[in-house]
């Protein structure tokens, strides 16, 4: 005999959250391995744009972060090819140099102690949206992770290699998880590599959905209370981990063993 058919929605949500916390697991990958996998995942999801874009994660020591080596594409990144740099982008371990655009990551990490991973990419639909100066609009259940959680930088500050760009991008992000940068791309700043990667995937999907929907008609707004409920539901830590693990399994199935493997 069913025992839950008379329960209120809030009670059912609480039960589901407990079950998700208990049953969803993922491998004990290192931060470097997660960053390498995030690079491969985002490459597979259309976030590649030559050598542009960066993914960083806080290092163990204060004022340090892990990032990819300039000259490698997202699809070439392995844990062993990542660099550890300080706030001035001096290389503390690894070979090569970081992307000079990593400078604005330093500003975000300094202003946001809650952020442990930053993703900056130039995916097709987010970039197209940035070119027409239109903020990201969230109007679908799957993308509610970004509802009231996306900033907008309306003016392009030029190449992001100076401190002025770092200040402008950090200010546009504010306390939110993501921002659309005019004439540029997206920025995501989250609590973990898993969360940042999955939010970046959903950001690009939201941009694609927006462009498709606006070409067909007027987008209808979501009921705010329900959208906020979905935002919290999708952002459960275990849900982010499970989604990341699913995407990782996809790229690992296609990865060849040996040198260049994302976990090598």
Query: Could you read off the pLDDT of 21-68 as tens digits, one per residue?
Result: 899 888 999 999 999 999 999 999 999 888 999 999 999 999 999 999
Domain that holds residue 161: 29-254
pTM of the model: 0.95
Answer whether residue 84 is part of any domain: yes
- pLDDT score, position 173: 97
Answer whether residue 197 is part of any domain: yes
Answer whether residue 231 is part of any domain: yes
| In the predicted structure, residue 259 carries a pLDDT above the cut 70 | no
What CA–CA distance (Å, rounded) separates 111 from 105?
10
pLDDT in tens, 92-105: 999 999 999 999 99
Say how many domains are in the chain: 1
| In the predicted structure, residue 130 carries a pLDDT above the cut 80 | yes
Given pLDDT bands bounded at 50, 70 and 90, which one contains residue 258?
low
Q: What CATH number is attached to the domain comprising 60?
A: 3.40.225.10
CA triplet 162, 167, 172: central angle to 5 degrees? 130
- How many other C-beta atoms are found inside a 10 Å radius of the C-beta of residue 26? 17
Answer whether residue 248 is part of any domain: yes
| In the predicted structure, residue 129 carries a pLDDT above the cut 90 | yes
| In the predicted structure, residue 109 carries a pLDDT above the cut 90 | yes
Given pLDDT bands bounded at 50, 70 and 90, which one contains residue 199?
very high
- pLDDT score, position 24: 87
Answer whether residue 247 is part of any domain: yes
Answer whether residue 18 is part of any domain: no
Chain centroid to Cα 78, Å, comes to 18
What CA–CA distance (Å, rounded) separates 214 from 140?
13
Query: SS3 sequence, 219-264?
Result: CCCCCHHHHHHHHHHHCCHHHHHHHHHHHHHHHHHHCCCCCCCCCC
Answer whether residue 178 is part of any domain: yes
Q: What is the mean pLDDT of the chain?
A: 95
Answer whether residue 9 is part of any domain: no
- The whole-number average pLDDT for the span 167-174 is 95
Tell me how far CA of residue 151 lies from CA of 21, 34, 100, 187, in angstroms: 30, 26, 23, 9
């Amino acid at each position: 005999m069913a025992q839950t058919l008379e329960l209120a929605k809030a009670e059912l949500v609480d039960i589901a959250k407990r079950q998700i916390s208990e049953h969803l697991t993922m491998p004990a990958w290192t931060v470097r391995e997660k960053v390498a996998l995030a690079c491969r995942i985002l490459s597979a999801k259309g976030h590649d744009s030559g050598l542009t874009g960066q993914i960083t994660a806080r290092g163990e020591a204060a004022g340090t972060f892990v990032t990819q080596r300039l000259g490698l594409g997202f699809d070439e990144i392995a844990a062993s090819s990542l660099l550890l740099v300080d706030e001035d982008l001096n290389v503390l371990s690894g070979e090569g140099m970081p992307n000079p655009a990593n400078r604005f990551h330093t500003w975000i990490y300094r202003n946001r102690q809650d952020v442990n991973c930053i993703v900056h990419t130039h995916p097709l639909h987010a970039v197209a949206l940035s070119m027409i100066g239109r903020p990201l609009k969230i109007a679908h259940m799957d993308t509610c992770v970004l509802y009231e959680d996306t900033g907008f930088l309306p003016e392009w500050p030029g190449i992001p290699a100076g401190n002025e760009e770092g200040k402008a991008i950090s200010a546009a992000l504010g306390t939110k998880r993501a921002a659309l940068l005019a004439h540029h791309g997206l920025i995501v700043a989250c609590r973990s590599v898993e969360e940042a990667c999955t939010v970046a995937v959903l950001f690009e999907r939201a941009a694609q959905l927006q462009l498709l929907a606006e070409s067909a008609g007027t987008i209808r707004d979501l009921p705010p209370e329900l959208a906020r409920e979905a935002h919290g539901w999708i952002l459960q830590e275990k849900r982010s981990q499970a989604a990341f693990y699913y995407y990782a399994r996809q790229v690992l199935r296609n990865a060849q063993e040996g040198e260049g493997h994302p976990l090598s």
